[in-house]
Amino acid sequence: MTTTLDQPELLTRERILAGAEACVRRFGLRRWSMADAASAASVSRGSVYRYFADREALVDAVLERTAERFVAESEAAVRRRRTLATQVGEAAVFITTHRRDDTFTLALANDDSLLATLLTARTEHLVERWVEFWIPLLDEASARGEIRRSPDPRRAAEWIVRMLLSLTLMPSVVVDLDDAEAVREFVHDHIVQGLAPNRTRRPA
């Protein structure tokens, strides 16, 4: 059964999440307690447990909140573009530009980032949210004739997401990831070719 929170409760929950993020930033992902989160949020420990059953639930909520923020912040730049190739290119520029940016990745005490943690420890939060983001864009591109129609757009969306997230995990030997135009060109030339219509079938 889903519980609907009223506005004061939502604000308290957000304070707790913000406090937990502050703890992650200060201590790393593992070296803080529910009491630390309560102190950072200026609420009682009991209040934290009212909204989050245990520390794992709170960590998951922090990571999910970060995934939501990441996707929301990238959306405006992506939607300014009018083709799938340029939309994916803009997403690639966003993710490479902000891969070391505290504002979006929440740098941790151990010089890791919460985005990196999302990618390595709790990948499903970011992948699921970003897959859902790309599905309507794929549908629109298909309607425009830019890509072939797919019986399962979620597969195509996940392929795009995996290619984009690899830009944060792997250094490049062919493209300067700090050069926005070079990233756009790289994506335009390669990353969406597999979705284009009228391609020869891959070998059996």
pLDDT tens across 92-137, in order?
Answer: 998 888 776 654 554 444 444 555 555 555 556 668 888 999 999 9
The CA R_g of the chain, rounded to the nearest whole Å, is 19
**Sign of the alpha-carbon dihedral angle for 156, 157, 163, 169:** negative
User: ∠ CA(177), CA(183), CA(184), 5° rounding?
Assistant: 160
pLDDT reported for residue 40: 96
Reported CATH class of domain 62-195: mainly alpha
State how far the alpha carbon of 110 is from the alpha carbons of 24, 31, 53, 106, 126, in Å. Answer: 10, 11, 27, 12, 21
pLDDT tens across 162-200, in order?
Answer: 888 888 777 889 999 999 999 999 988 887 777 777 654
Token pair belonging to 185: 């060109």
Per the CB < 8 A criterion, the answer to whether 47 and 12 are in contact is yes
pLDDT value at 204 more than 50? no
Comparing 63 with 160, the larger pLDDT belongs to 160
Determine what percent of the chain is predicted with pLDDT higher than 70: 80
pLDDT tens across 125-145, in order?
Answer: 668 888 999 999 999 999 998
CATH topology (fold) of 1-52: Arc Repressor Mutant, subunit A (1.10.10)
Domain extent listing, the chain: 1-52, 62-195
Q: Give the range among 48-62, 112-126, 141-155 with minimum mean pLDDT.
A: 112-126
Per the CB < 8 A criterion, the answer to whether 195 and 84 are in contact is yes
pLDDT reported for residue 106: 47
